[in-house]
Structure 1
Amino acid sequence: MTFLQRNPEAAAALSRRGFLITATSAGVALGFAGEVTAAGPAPAGFEPTIWYSIGRDGTVTVNVIRAELGQHVGTAIARIVADELEADWSKVQVKTVDSDAKWGLMVTGGSWSVWQSYPIYSQAGAAGRTVLIEEGAKLLGVAPGACVARNGAIHAGKASVSYGAIVTRGNLARSFTPEQLAKLPMKPAAERRLIGKAVQARDIPSKTNGQGVYGIDAVVPGMVYARPKLPPTRYDSVVVSIDDSAAKAVPGYQKSLALDDPSGTVPGWVVVLADSFVAANKACDLVKVTWKTGEAAKVSEADLQRRSAELIADPNAGSLVVEDAGVDQAFAAAKSKLEATYTTATALHFQMEPVNALAFEKDGVFEIHTGNQWQSLVLPWLAKALGRPENTIVMKSYLLGGGFGRRLNGDYAIPAALASKAIGKPVKLVFTRADDSRFDSPRAPSVQRVRMAFGEAGRVTAMDHAAAAGWPTLAMAPFFMPKGTNGVAYDPFSVNGADHWYTVGAQRVRAVNNDLANSTFRPGWLRSVGPGWTNWALESFMDEAAHSQGADPLAFRLKLLDGVGRNAGSGPTAVGGAHRQAAVLAAVAKKAGWGAALPKNTGLGLATTFGQERDMPTWVACAARVRVDPQTGVVKVEKLTLVADCGTVVHPDGALAQMQGASLWGMSLALFEGTEFRDGQVKDTNLGGYTPLRMADVPDLDIEFMPSTEPPVGLGEPATTVVGPAIGNAIFNAVGARVRDLPIRPAAVLKAMKA
């Protein structure tokens, strides 16, 4: 299932379109019919179109709708095109495009980018290769069957003609229906020359020589700088008065403006305007605003967790994501039962580049210059806020200094646009680190209850998993929420991972929205989203279940990963199902030395996951080796061993970097990161109180990818979800302390050791 298929109307529209390849004197243009911009003569020799173009000099320009936030997504997607096209990699360049309806859905998240792009761009590359061979054969005076495409040219024996020459001299015109595209011959894996090979990432030079431009670098003549004066609460604050008398002494200060936001994105906001950010920053601290607030100003972390627990206790609350017949009967007839509750604390994004946006109107178009992960989500908010048609607004794309899901929510663009509209000038809104933290869309705190029923000889007969948290998709993209078996809509990103691939008899998975969280703040998507808490509970519980039955945790899991029924897996990307998850688990256990003797107070813990979603499974397993100081409870992670089966590895260096970063983030969330709400706001707003993983804490990493020619899936997030429970299980194996709350603090370890 592709992302487009999640939107039936979009999928239907796409399926009716043929694929078009045309050529003019300017270049070859490739795209879906109805979406192609005619490539007329251009000074540069080519005109970019929907997916890629080839210039008269043979340059291949790949248009990428995904945001570049450090994951080398442009290089990965360009490889897909270039490999099938047989392009000269030295002549391939990547263009990250601005928002436009012709691109369709623009979103970068969920580990979807390569997974969704692979079939589209590989077919596009194959189509281009087919046409270039046909036209190249004419220019060479031979039959197409005598020709091969290789490294940006068509070869026939000792003769050849370059792609640039074909574009300049040829007469290319060919269209493909979706059915014809699907039948185009793709290169066998053995003939790939770019996918899976070591080639330079296209974005590295600009990032290292300073030429790369990030959102915070955007400038235009005559712009006014702004810093927000944030209200006490996210939703229910109203400006009563503004006193800027002290700020007027700051050179360059202009004024403070209370925003009127028809979209409801930034209620109660004041922006402080000045000639420079230094002035805006200083003046903002001096401006005094009086707000009227509501009940959200009283909410604490304990209130949020208590509300989740109350909702989980109500069997009628929430949406039934999985509901097999006989769950209650199996628990009633069970020989034994096990139940445990797990929690996770509020977590923040802390991307390197604080959020920012530059906004202004030019020639009847309102431009928003910023780094963003989901333009298609933000444009309707901007249209409502500005009171103008969506097609008169464009979001200009920039590099992102980190995103981690925070920039899926482009709410920070709204105040910049409103301020610009109000004063009739370009406004560059920049947040301080503390502003960014207070205005963050945090990962909501979560509470989960997991139960398992056992029959004769410890056979698992039923499992019941309920997860309660704030729902980001309800807050920002409710149109993206499917309905459960009981007809109640749910946020898939709050419960993905709980619908696991273990065979556990009758299964129930229930997603519960913490309404207090959603009314207090705007819950956000943070790298791995729901699996970041669901897999913490699931894989910790699997260890507990194994020990309750006197079973080895590895053997217990492998027995349940039998690939029976719905866990058998199917195409296109879940082929092999639970058997592939069992394979990575067995491989990581062997690699890490599972079962070998370890020093005192040292333990090895296992955990496994299928990544983000059942139709896009990335099979990952982790073995964490930890040492626990029994006097202090401090946990030292000595080594993380991970094995992943992500199908075809498109960009090996990028894939390794993704796994490394994700696993370290998972470790950071497990042991170091976490804040709490106090009086409706997060307690920690900078990196003094909020303490992510430091360099001194980084363990040895041993990461391996299973060889595969299956279609590629996602890698940005899965490893994040598997490290935490592996560490928790290792702590238990080291000192017998079972911790069920993230982050794992030394005091909690000491308390569990005494329990």
Structure 2
Amino acid sequence: MNKHFDLDRDTASPASAATPPAALTRRTLLKASAAAGVLMLSVELPGTAAAATTAKPGGVATRDASHDAATALNAMVQVGPGDTVTLVMPRVEMGQGTYTALSQLIAEELEVDPTRVTLQHAPADDKRYGNPALGAQVTGGSTSMATAWLPMRQAGAAARTLLIQAAATQWGVAPGACRAENGRVVHPDTGRVLSYGDLASAAARLPVPALDQLTLKDPRDFRYVGQPLLRLDAPAKVEGRAQFGIDVRIPGMLIAAVAASPYFGGKVKSVDTAAARRVRGVRQVLNLGDLVAVLADHNGAARKGLAAAKIQWDTGPAASYSTATMEAELEAASHREGATARTQGDVAAARSKGARTLEAIYQQPLMAHAAMEPMNCTVRLSRDRCEVWTGTQVPTRAQAAAAEAAGLKPEQVEIHNQYLGGGFGRRLDADVVPQAVRIAKAARVPVKVVWSREEDLQHDVYRPYHYNRLSATLDAQGHPVVWQHRVTGSSIMARFAPAFFKDNIDGDAIRDAAGPYDFANLQIQYVRQEPPAGLTTGWWRGVGHMQNAFPVECFLDELAHETRQDPLQLRLKLLGKHPRAQHVLKLLADKAQWGAPAPAGQGRGLALTQAFGTYAAQVTDVAVAADGTVRVLRVVTVVDCGMVVTPSTVEAQVQGGNVFGLSAALFGNITVKDGRIEQSNFHDFRVMRMNEVPVMETHIVPSAEAPTGIGEIATVLSAPSVVNAVFAATGRRVRKLPLDPETLRA
């Protein structure tokens, strides 16, 4: 069996979900320094930097040999005067609750109320803030909690240990005679108390214990972990105090409205600069060849100036390209043998002995992210320094891109990261950063670039169009003895991290191409087929798990129907090696009343996944009207994501993931005509309205395992569960998304 690693790999395998990363099982160090009476602690993760990659513009990922694993700092906790506790966040907050959950972990071991923890965005630094699961400073792949579970607790425990020791030394007692509580160290025998702020300076001068000398709290004694804490970032967001990238203002800046060529590979043919300049407030009009930027005192003037410019475009080399062209090319490519990513057993022999073979083709379209906050970036550039304000999932990638665009070294670029108004994988690409640097360089003034919704939708980094050929051979009893799946589509990995695109296989594109199921004979293949230059594909919420759950879970339902088996029972038979998955399915059957008959015109569908280390399953109830309109009535989800830090966040992520995934399954479709994207705003790129959102139930399996990913799980399950429900209601099998009411009319 061939294994292919990629940047969005699972954080833990089913068998080792409770086992910390290998780096954490070895002796590691905590460093402390006394600076102005502040106790500063950092957790070192040997191995983090060893896997680090520095991404350069154009998608070239290279190893940085200067990242010495012995000095790789992952997170920093500061305890200072006034009892302040500051956490320098190694991950970004984009609505997934990371800031709250990581604060809970620190607070739990440090014995302070989580609401007393102040947060700072981490600077761009793979060496100190790299994600050990992804090898660089990246927030993605649902890895934040899995990779923070031990380091954050260890940092809190180390700070607690030093503060207790500092108090014990001052009182002349044994550390064991003292305890920490509510931000203070107490000596119960004498009633003496010292606050953390009073002890920080002395604690910073003490030798720091090794991690294997720390005592972590027993989960049974947790006060904050596992509690439905209110989001720490919510008050600032509700009151409008939180600063997102789009909110940044710096002295002397101009606002830039931008129009890049809507045609793949197109260029500016003409622009009415004089007309744009006549708009009051417009200061500059820049023609950079592939884009036009109008700079003004405020956004309104910039937009009006851009409209007045009446830009004419050269249609470029792909002017005749369309969705029909793409589908024809993918269909033709899917007949190629492809690169074999995974094999098991003897497929040819088992096929020849099987009773019958079933085949199907499943297709998923291009998809945009459409985050609420459009792409934006503010840049201040001088001869030897560049400052960038933006919200990004990849600070060091943004830093490298800015450096190349500015003609500087990465260390001359400072990234000021902000809150993200939605990521979903879109902000794993930093394409807006070099664009803003180019504009600032040409304008010679600080510039804030804000994309319009139209620009954001038509210049996205799209989820690839995937064309799936599936085949299953059944024995005489109707049991699948051969599973074959050939995935054809664009390779994100080849562009984003080419070092991990090996043997012509994109490891993410074929992820879960057989689900978590046990097939005696198995063959997974990948065929790379790219769209024209300028139509860029990228990560989308759920990544490869989501891309393959739709064809795998729906084709499995086809097998159950053809062999007159209950879809849930067939899955249970194929999950003998996954008792946690079996438990999730059985609990779901009970909570969703799986065996109960659905009313006329309604159907109930099922889907299962093991993704990001988490086991999850979902039942969706739908009603299909006579005109083919599908209404989702109820979604019941069961998740086993290990020990839960913030239950309310888990529930919120499942709900949000469902809305995201259902929107894509019901309406989502990015199409191409005449060499450009057709959709431009939410009138033709639909998302669910509030009145369309179904009743949602989330059930969390109690667990003592280490936490695993949750932010993308529901999106993985949404499409297959709703499509299987539509079949149950209508008897019509949907193999191409989004759902088309025309094909479902009674």
What's the TM-score, normalizing by structure 1? 0.88
Q: Which amino acid aligns with 2:220?
A: A
Instruction: Say which SS state the counterpart of residue 193 (structure 1) adopts.
Output: coil
Letter in 1 for 2:294: V
Cα gap change, 1:583 to 1:167, in 2 (>3 Å): same
The residue aligned with 2:217 is: 187
| Structure 1 equivalent of residue 38 of structure 2 | 27
Matching residue within 387, 391, 402 for 2:407: 387
Question: Which residue number corresponds to residue 254 of structure 2?
Answer: 224
Q: Secondary structure at the match of 1:404?
A: coil
Structure 2 counterpart of 1:503? 518
Deviations 1:371-396 (A, max 9, x none): 11112222222222221101101111
Q: CA deviation at 1:742?
A: 1.2
1:624 to 620, 631, 651: 620
Tell me the residue number matched to 2:141: 110
Q: Which residue of 2 aligns with 1:148?
A: 179
1:541-585 Cα deviation digits (max 9, x unpaired):
11111112221111000010111xxxxxxxxxxxxxx21112111
After superposition, residues 279-678 of structure 1 pair within 5 angstroms as 279-315=301-337, 317=338, 319-361=339-381, 364-479=384-499, 481-483=500-502, 487-490=503-506, 492-516=507-531, 519-563=533-577, 578-611=578-611, 616-629=612-625, 631-678=626-673
Q: Is contact 1:135-1:172 (8 Å) kept?
A: no
1:89 and 1:151 in contact (8 A); partners too: no
User: Are positions 1:76 and 2:97 aligned together?
Assistant: no
Which residue identity lines up with residue 322 of structure 1 in the other structure? Answer: R
| Conserved 8 A contact 1:94-1:202 | no
Specify the SS of the correspondent of 2:636: strand
2:716 is matched by which residue type in structure 1? T
Compared with structure 1, are the counterparts of its residues 242 and 15 closer, same or farther at alpha carbon in structure 2 (3 Å cutoff)? farther
- Report the AA paired with residue 542 of structure 1: L
Give secondary structure in 1 for the equivalent of 2:536: coil
What whole-Å deviation, never above 9, does each CA across 1:188-246 have from its counterpart, x for those lacking one? 11011111113332111111111111111111121122111221334x23345443232
How far did 1:411 drift?
0.4
Distance 1:457 1:171, change over 3 A: closer
Render the CA deviation track for 1:224-282: whole Å, top value 9, x for unaligned.
22111221334x233454432322321222333233xxxxxxx7222222232212211
Taking the aligned partners of 2:605 and 2:44, their CA distance within structure 1 comes to: 53
Contact 2:670–2:679 (8 Å) recurs in 1:
yes
Residue 52 of structure 2 corresponds to none
Give the aligned length: 699
**Number of the residue aligned with 2:70:** none
Contact 1:669 1:743 in 2 (8 A): yes
Tell me, in whole angstroms, the C-alpha distance in 2 between the residues paired with 1:288 and 1:725.
45
Give the stretch that moved more between structures: 145-154 or 411-420.
145-154
Structure 2 contact 345–520 (Cα < 8 Å) conserved: no
1:256 corresponds in structure 2 to 285
Distance 1:682 1:292, change over 3 A: closer
Gaps of 5+ in 1: 36-47, 260-266, 564-577
Per the TM alignment, residue 646 of structure 1 is displaced from its structure 2 partner at its CA by 0.6
658 and 711 in structure 1: CA distance in 2 versus 1, 3 angstrom threshold: same
Instruction: Give 2:65's aligned residue.
Output: none
C-alpha separation in 2, matches of 1:544 and 1:4: 30
Q: Distance in 2 between matches of 1:397 and 1:437?
A: 23
Runs of 4+ aligned structure 1 residues displaced above 6 Å come to 1-7, 10-17
Q: Distance in 2 between matches of 1:320 and 1:256?
A: 52
**Aligned-pair CA distance for 1:170:** 4.7
Q: How many angstroms apart in 1 are the aligned matches of 2:185 and 2:524?
A: 55
Deviation string for 1:459-494 (max 9, x for gaps)? 321211122222233233323x253xxx3342x332
Q: For residues 415-434 of structure 1, what are the alpha-carbon distances to aligned partners after superposition, in whole Å with 9 as ceiling and x for unaligned?
A: 11111112221011111111
SS in 2 for 1:526: coil
| Comparing 189-198 and 116-125, the one that deviates more | 116-125
Relative to structure 1, is the Cα distance of residues 34 and 714 closer, same or farther in structure 2, using a 3 angstrom cutoff? closer
Would you say the 8 A contact 1:322–1:499 is kept in 2? no
Is the 1:469–1:514 Cα contact (8 Å) retained in structure 2? yes
Structure 2 match to 1:571: none
- Contact 2:270/2:312 (8 A) holds in 1: yes
* SS state at 1:434 partner: helix
* RMSD after superposition: 2.7
The Cα shift of 1:607 comes to 0.7
Distance 1:712 1:482 in 2: 29
C-alpha distance in structure 2 between counterparts of 1:209 and 1:520, whole Å: 40
State the 1:603 CA deviation. Answer: 1.2
- Residue 708 of structure 1: CA displacement? 0.8
Residue 360 of structure 1 contacts residue 421 of structure 1 at CA under 8 Å; is this kept in 2?
A: no
Displacement of 1:716 in angstroms is: 0.9
Q: For structure 1, which segment, 370-379 or 508-517, has the greater mean C-alpha deviation from structure 2 after superposition?
A: 508-517
Matches within 5 A, 1:659-698: 659-698=654-693
CA shift digits 1:666-724 (9 cap, x unpaired): 11111122231112222111011111111111111111110012111111101111121
| Aligned partners of 1:30 and 1:49 also within 8 Å | no
Which one has more relative contact order, counting CA pairs under 8 Å at least 6 apart? 2
8 Å CA contact 2:44–2:74 kept in 1: the answer is no
Distance 1:253 1:372, change over 3 A: same
Deviating more after overlay: 735-744 vs 248-257: 248-257
User: Does the residue aligned with 1:220 lie in a helix, a strand or coil?
Assistant: coil
SS at 2:318 equivalent: helix
Structure 2: how far apart are the matches of 1:52 and 1:80?
Answer: 12
CA distance in 2, matches of 1:585, 1:417: 51
CA distance in 1: counterparts of 2:171 and 2:702, whole angstroms: 40
The structure-2 alpha-carbon separation of the partners of 1:49 and 1:676, relative to structure 1 and needing over 3 Å to count, comes to closer
CA contact (8 A) 1:305 1:446 kept: no
CA distances 1:472-517 after superposition (whole Å, capped 9, x unpaired): 33233323x253xxx3342x33232325211011222223322126
How many Å separate the matches in 2 of 1:4 and 1:628? 36
1:52 and 2:77 correspond: yes
8 Å CA contact 2:618, 2:636 repeated in 1: yes
| Unpaired segments ≥5 residues, structure 2 | 12-20, 47-72, 131-135
The answer to whether the 8 A contact 1:100-1:394 is kept is no
Contact 1:299/1:679, CA 8 A, preserved across alignment: yes
**Paired residue secondary structure (2:334):** helix
Looking at structure 2, the residues matched to 747 and 239 of structure 1 have their Cα atoms a distance apart, in angstroms, of 40
Structure 1 residues 637 and 88, CA, compared in 2 at 3 Å: closer, same or farther? closer
Cα gap change, 1:457/1:20 in structure 2, threshold over 3 Å: closer, same or farther? same
Match of 1:127 in 2: 158
How many Å apart are 1:725 and its aligned residue? 0.8
Q: C-alpha separation between the residues in 1 aligned to 2:489 and 2:719? A: 18
Post-superposition shift, 1:14?
13
What is the alpha-carbon distance in structure 1 between the residues aligned to residue 10 and residue 480 of structure 2?
A: 34
Letter in structure 2 aligned against 1:493: D
Displacement after TM superposition at 1:139 (Å): 2.7
The question of whether the paired residues in 2 share the 8 Å contact of 1:377 and 1:477 is answered with no
